[in-house]
Amino acid sequence: MDMEYRRLGSSGLKVPALSLGTGTFGGSGPLFSNWGTTDAQEARRLVDICLDAGVNLFDTADVYSAGASEEVLGAAIKGRRDSVLISTKTTLPTGHGPNDAGSSRPRLLRAVDDALRRLGTDYIDLLQLHAFDAATPVEEVLGTLDALVRAGKLRYIGVSNFAGWQIMKSLAASERHGWSRYVAHQVYYSLLGRDYEMGPDAAGAGPGRRRTGVEPAGLGPPHRQNPPRPAVAGRQPPARHCGVRTAGR
């Protein structure tokens, strides 16, 4: 069966209905080593299998094994960057310094440059904020992201684990200033956790949803164990695959 491709939210980018989460790549530390310890050679084999099936979107984050996931993914796609789409995330703590967490201008600028270096590329197809940073004005966050898009370092921007009001506040700022808009919302989705807040995307006002199903059942996203369940406003159909499903509008 041929892979189905869909538009990513309100963008013009077409992505596969399934993508591969790479939280197991380079697994290290007490949490990620229990997920898996996929090295570069095995990662290349997994990428080969995905591309043969038409799956060309690979999702990672700077917090996954302290950046090792991005490094292994970069090694696995070396020489075929034009054939793949890369999604990565930032905002969660990657160190103990006062500016090693959040979405401030200096943090985002440094995080993007570090991710580009680890991935071995000069652009990221989709950068998502891993959590909402209530301490930084949305204008600072979006103004910085828009500058990174205009500089060619990012193609699109999105969010992860945002509440509906946080998305709407951000979309309003983008509209007001003519900045890049979030086009994707990656939400927690596992065998046991299938409920999440229905944000503005459900009404066609916001970014498309990406349902994350790479977490072990009941564990929750890698940055938090036993997370609070979001407000229930609807249920998604049963998962048919383990991976990240993308849902465009």
Spell out the residues 6+ positions from residue 216 whose beta carbon is closer than 8 angstroms to its own: 35, 190
Which are the catalytic amino acids? 64
Show the tokens assigned to 180.
């890049």
Distance CA 193, CA 195 (A): 6
Distance CA 127, CA 122 (A): 13
Query: Which single residue is written with the structure tokens 């967490």?
Result: 101
| Separation of first and last alpha carbons in the chain | 22
What is the per-residue DSSP string for 16-61?
ESEEEE-TTBT--HHHHHHH--B-HHHHHHHHHHHHHTT--EEE--
Instruction: Give bridge partners of residue 247 from the DSSP assignment.
Output: 209
Alpha helices in 36-154 (DSSP H): 40-52, 68-76, 105-119, 138-150
- Tell me how many helices (H) and strands (E) the chain has: 6, 10
CB 121 within 8 A of CB 92: no
The bridge status of strand 14-16 relative to strand 18-21 is unpaired
3-state secondary structure of 145: helix
